[in-house]
């Protein structure tokens, strides 16, 4: 199993949790971004820099990810594509995306975008919190324990 991260907008706390987990469990972590990231020097932690541009990182992740890999992303359309390829997907707040819930997540995302576009609502998600960090760490641990890696 490889772990892919949609890294451009990934919270620092999530990256730090992932760094510790992949070193401890000897997993491969691939940080995909269109900018250079500062990563710990470890052979299991890799940077994949893609061209700048809309969905460049997403497209590369979907090209590379396979059944049983794990993706960390807050991007619902990317999550949907990865779920279709039978990858495991969680967001930085600890939510698991599955075949059973991804269509609802896409519909909610589209509705919220429509409401924002029409100025019926404003703003986006709440700031990343300690509660979110804990939820992410817990779900990552459960997944890695269940997979016995």
Angle between helices 76-84 and 56-64 (to 10 degrees): 20
DSSP code, position 45: E
- 21-31 pLDDT tens trace: 999 999 999 99
CATH number at residue 95: 3.40.50
Q: What is the torsion angle, in degrees rounded to the nearest 10, for the CA atoms of residue 139, residue 141, residue 146 and residue 149?
A: 140
- The dihedral region occupied by 79, where left means phi > 0, alpha psi between -120 and 50, and beta the remainder, is alpha
What average pLDDT does the chain have?
A: 92
Instruction: Give the per-residue pLDDT at 118.
Output: 81
What confidence category does residue 111 fall into, taking pLDDT thresholds of 50, 70 and 90?
confident
pLDDT at 67: 97
**Is the predicted pLDDT of residue 149 greater than 70, yes or no?**
no
Per the structure, the complete domain to which residue 91 belongs is given by 2-146
Express each pLDDT in 123-144 by its tens digit: 777 899 999 999 999 999 999 9
Q: What is the pLDDT of residue 129?
A: 96
pTM of the model: 0.90
**What is the Cα–Cα distance from 128 to 135, expressed in whole angstroms?**
11
9-23, 85-99, 102-116: which has the minimum mean pLDDT? 102-116
**How many domains does one find in the chain?**
1
């Amino acid at each position: 199993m490889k772990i892919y991260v949609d890294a451009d907008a990934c919270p620092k706390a999530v990256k730090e949790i992932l760094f510790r987990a992949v070193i401890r469990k000897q997993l491969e972590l691939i940080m995909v971004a269109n900018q250079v990231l500062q990563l710990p020097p470890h052979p299991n932690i890799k940077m994949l820099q893609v061209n700048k541009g809309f969905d460049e990182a997403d497209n590369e992740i979907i090209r590379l990810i396979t059944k049983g890999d794990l993706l960390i992303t807050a991007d619902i359309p990317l999550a949907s594509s990865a779920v279709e390829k039978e990858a495991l997907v969680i967001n930085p707040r600890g939510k698991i995306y599955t075949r059973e819930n991804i269509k609802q997540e896409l519909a909610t995302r589209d509705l919220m975008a429509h409401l924002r576009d029409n100025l019926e609502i404003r703003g986006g998600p709440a700031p990343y919190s300690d509660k979110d960090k804990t939820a992410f760490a817990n779900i990552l641990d459960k997944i890695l324990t269940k997979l016995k890696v």
